[in-house]
Amino acid sequence: MDSLPTRTTAIARASDAVAAAKRIVVFTGAGISTESGIPDFRGPNGVWTKNPKAEKASNITNYLNEPDVREAAWQNRLTTPAWTAQPNDGHGALVELERQGRLHALVTQNIDGLHQKAGNDTSKVIEVHGTVWFTRCWECDDRRPMEQALTRVRAGDPDPSCLECSGILKSDTISFGQALNPDVIDRALQVSDECDLMLAVGSTLSVFPAANCVPRAKAGGAPVIIVNGEETAMDRYADHLLVGQIGEILPALLAEPD
């Protein structure tokens, strides 16, 4: 078990690596948002850890073929915690890093929009798995604010279809079995090649191709810091492995150097 002084030393060492870097890429997963009340999938209290059936509903084939699955998804979207969640100290620390002028890009697997809500510039945030704040038509790609579709659901439409072409609508997120947007994932891998430090936060680093950002940065010579509450699939790449609460570790790790 980690004693407190050991952990403080580990954070201080990693902080030195951060202070020496000028083009930092941060890679975030669901773990950075749990302290804002949005559950992750695979952590100890994750949605799938507690209810393995929930994984099936996020499969694109089921969504497209089964109206019941879509209707249940729209009901869930009415009350998704993302609408009211507030960014936490972990998100805040990444805004501070951008203010210091050392954030090259923020690659996120999260779909909750909390990095932008916290104040990171939208041009820095690369949402490799999309966002719940918009809908996209499966047929014609028409993209609109989610609120428009939710208003229709509240008015009694159980499965609102595209206003342009009547195609199936879903949130503008990447479901399982669905291809990633090639421009977005290419940009995420590109910034990972360019960075001089990779900071991976709150991810099991087990979802591909997004998780490839970490070995790509490492291959380019960048040191890797991993912050997570448990082990990840890529701990072997880490120069600094910080295990604990993200909301406590990130502010300490990213405070302005003296």
Q: Which residues are catalytic?
A: 129
Interacting residues of 75 by C-beta distance below 8 A, sequence separation 6+ = 153
Instruction: State yes or no: residue 109 binds ligand NAD (CB under 6 A).
Output: yes
- Considering only residues 2, 16, 68, 139, which one is a binding residue for Zn ion as defined by CB under 5 A? 139
- Rounded to whole angstroms, how far apart are CA atoms 133 and 127? 12
Site for ligand NAD in 147-176 (CB under 6 A): none
Instruction: State yes or no: residue 116 binds ligand NAD (CB under 6 A).
Output: no
Residue 121 binding target from Zn ion, ligand NAD, none, CB below 5 to 8 Å by type: none
The DSSP symbol for 239 reads: S
- Rounded to whole angstroms, how far apart are CA atoms 66 and 95? 41
Stretch that binds ligand NAD, among 3-11, 99-107, 146-154, 196-204 (CB under 6 A): 196-204
- Considering only residues 11, 25, 38, 197, which one is a binding residue for ligand NAD as defined by CB under 6 A? 38
**Beta strand pairing call for 240-243 and 224-228:** parallel
Judge whether 45 and 39 are in contact, CB under 8 Å.
Answer: yes
Q: Which of residues 140 and 219 has its CB atom nearest to Zn ion in the complex?
A: 140
What is the dihedral sign for C-alpha 242, 245, 246, 249? negative
- Considering only residues 24, 40, 105, 253, which one is a binding residue for ligand NAD as defined by CB under 6 A? 40
Helices (H) and strands (E) in the chain, counts: 11, 9
Instruction: State yes or no: residue 38 binds Zn ion (CB under 5 A).
Output: no
Instruction: State yes or no: residue 131 binds ligand NAD (CB under 6 A).
Output: no
Q: Dihedral, CA atoms, 14, 19, 21, 27, nearest 10 degrees?
A: 50
Provide Rg for the chain, Cα atoms.
19
Q: Which of residues 34 and 120 has its CB atom nearest to ligand NAD in the complex?
A: 34
Q: Which of residues 162 and 205 has its CB atom nearest to ligand NAD in the complex?
A: 205
Stretch that binds ligand NAD, among 17-25, 30-38, 155-163, 175-183 (CB under 6 A): 30-38
- Rounded to whole angstroms, how far apart are CA atoms 100 and 148? 37
Write out the H or E segment, with its range, that includes residue 193: helix 182-194
- Rounded to whole angstroms, how far apart are CA atoms 127 and 143? 15
- Rounded to whole angstroms, how far apart are CA atoms 155 and 180? 32
Instruction: State yes or no: residue 162 binds Zn ion (CB under 5 A).
Output: yes
Give the nearest distance from C-beta 136 to ligand NAD in angstroms. Answer: 15
Write out the H or E segment, with its range, that includes residue 123: none
- Considering only residues 120, 135, 192, 204, which one is a binding residue for ligand NAD as defined by CB under 6 A? 204
Q: Which of residues 28 and 137 has its CB atom nearest to ligand NAD in the complex?
A: 28
Instruction: State yes or no: residue 87 binds ligand NAD (CB under 6 A).
Output: no
Binding residues vs ligand NAD (CB under 6 A): 29-31, 33-35, 38, 40-43, 46, 109-112, 129, 202-204, 207, 228-230, 245-246
